[in-house]
Amino acid sequence: MSGEQGGLSRRGFAQRIGQVAAASTLASLNAPAVHGAEGNTIRLALIGAGGRGTGAVVDALATKNGPIKLVAMADIFEDKLNRSYTSLKNRVGADVEVKDEHKFLGFDGYQKAMDLLKPGDVAILATPPAFRWVHFEYAIKKGINVFMEKPVTVDGPTTKRMFELAEQSVRKNLKVGVGLMCRHCDARNELKRRIKDGQIGDIITMRAYRMHGPGGSAFTKPRVPNGVTAQITGGPTPPMSEVMFQLRRFHGFIWASGGMFSDFYIHNIDECCMMKDAWPVKAQAVGGRHYREDFVDQNFDVYSVEYTFADGTKLFLDGRSMTGAWSEFASYAHGTKGLAVISAKDHTPARSKIYNGHNPDPANLAWAYPEQERNPYRIEWINLIDAIRNDKPYNEVRRGAEASLVTSMGRMAAHTGRVITYEEALNSTHELAPDVATLTENGAAPVMPGPDGKYPMPYPGLVTDREYGVPPAVPTATAASAQQE
């Protein structure tokens, strides 16, 4: 499938959104029914058996509006597949009906797993996001509903591709959920309603923080070709090929996941855009790696981004991954009349609040969502399954792709040292993994280490036409002074 979809203006985006909405209405009238498989049992196939994929199955099986069964699993790592299966059998055993011959290994396992499904069933796409468009395209071909984890894209070319696939899925009346569960949170939606009612005035500034120690597979030690690689997070890496190593440590490689920036920060960015009810039009950012040590991944350990919306409103995002430093995991919106706490700590519970003025002093508290919050990870599945069983229009792909692109826009600004606009991010020609659809275990990886075992890194201000590469030359202090003069 070609990645050349052509450029679209922001006005064109609005027109396209209207076309998608119209297509959704027509689809509900003309498209084949895909609202529950034969016998009323919705069957699931899990593609990508890591932590979030396993958690998504648990959340899906927890819905109570009809029978749901897990019937197939696929992954490229046998130990992950087996660990996920064992965990699921222990937690929700009665609804896990995966025969040994329906546990598929390899890069084509997603096809074999989805081939067991029928229209009305659901494929859970939870691999590293580089593969999202490939797997979604196959699901559309099969006429299968989808739940896909975030992010859904990691660069401009794949975002354009996902926009087109979104339209195809709407035309086929497929129900598609995207794992941006903050959009389904009761507390956040009530806060959004109150903000729209003017309870904090006009939003002028938003702040988002995700600052904690190293997590996931973001910080990666060099691969030991024929031995075990010790890692500080994610467990040691056994001997494996270069491609498999990068996918095992996918948070460390921008092509696979968008790096820790896209995978970790997208929720905070998205929940702020949810309150603003808009996407930012540009971003400028700084970032760097203070503690490089012998890590070879492509991440910075600090990021600071200033997003700007069309009306001039700012969103400031601070991300940090350092042991021993101050930790905060929260988002805020400042209005002309008061302060809104969008989320106070982690993703759930949100603990959303409104304060009079801008100091979060208990004496200034104007409103707080009740302490008992429903789990948004469960709510998004309740909503998806309800849409499938009752044939309601339900397709979150375009919004998920836009959130992913806006996240990539901030990452690109930090990695290039430039101001990056929404249009520039979308129309970037740097596709991070153009051959991902034909990737094989022992083939060439999208990025390769140099003789020193290190991978191409971002060089802000030096490599500016893409997010990483070999700089033409590192300026000396004298040259840098001359440039400033």
76 is in which domain, residue-wise?
10-183+379-401
Q: How confident is the model over 209-248, as pLDDT tens digits?
A: 999 999 999 999 999 888 898 898 888 889 999 999 999 9
Of 13 and 70, more confident: 70
N-terminal to C-terminal alpha carbon distance within the chain: 48
Q: Which residues pair with 70 in a beta bridge?
A: 44, 96
| Residue 4 maps to a domain | no
Same domain, 138 and 278: no
Same domain, 148 and 262: no
What is the pLDDT, as a whole number, of residue 7? 36
Q: How confident is the model at residue 12 (pLDDT cuts 50, 70, 90)?
A: very low
| Residue 220 maps to a domain | yes
| Residue 445 maps to a domain | yes
How are beta strands 353-356 and 338-343 bridged, if at all?
Answer: antiparallel
3-state secondary structure of 224: coil
Give 472's DSSP letter: S
| Residue 434 maps to a domain | yes
Would you mind telling me the total number of residues written for the chain in this entry? Answer: 485
Q: How confident is the model at residue 17 (pLDDT cuts 50, 70, 90)?
A: very low
Q: How confident is the model at residue 2 (pLDDT cuts 50, 70, 90)?
A: very low
What is the CATH number for 426?
Answer: 3.30.360.10
What is the pLDDT, as a whole number, of residue 234? 84
Q: Would you report the helix, strand and coil content of the chain in percent, each value rounded to 5?
A: 40, 20, 40
pTM as predicted: 0.90
| Residue 406 maps to a domain | yes
Same domain, 118 and 190: no
Residue ending a domain, choose from 335, 366, 401: 401
| Residue 221 maps to a domain | yes
Same domain, 365 and 423: yes
Most distant CA pair in the chain, distance: 75
149: left (phi over 0), alpha (psi -120 to 50) or beta: beta
Q: How confident is the model at residue 22 (pLDDT cuts 50, 70, 90)?
A: very low
How are beta strands 314-321 and 122-125 bridged, if at all?
Answer: unpaired
Residue 125: CB atoms within 10 A of its CB come to 30
Share of the chain above pLDDT 70, in %: 90
| Residue 360 maps to a domain | yes
Of 442 and 39, more confident: 442
- Asked if pLDDT for residue 206 goes beyond 90, the answer is yes
Q: How confident is the model at residue 110 (pLDDT cuts 50, 70, 90)?
A: very high
What is the pLDDT, as a whole number, of residue 176? 98
Q: Tokens standing for 51? A: 């932590």
Q: Count of domains in the chain?
A: 2
Return the closest-CA partner of residue 270 out of 190, 187, 179, 180. 180
What is the pLDDT, as a whole number, of residue 177? 98
Q: How confident is the model over 30-83, as pLDDT tens digits?
A: 454 555 655 799 999 999 999 999 999 999 999 989 999 999 999 999 999 999
What is the CATH number for 160?
Answer: 3.40.50.720
The dihedrals phi and psi of 123, each to the nearest 5 degrees, come to -95, 130
Same domain, 61 and 164: yes
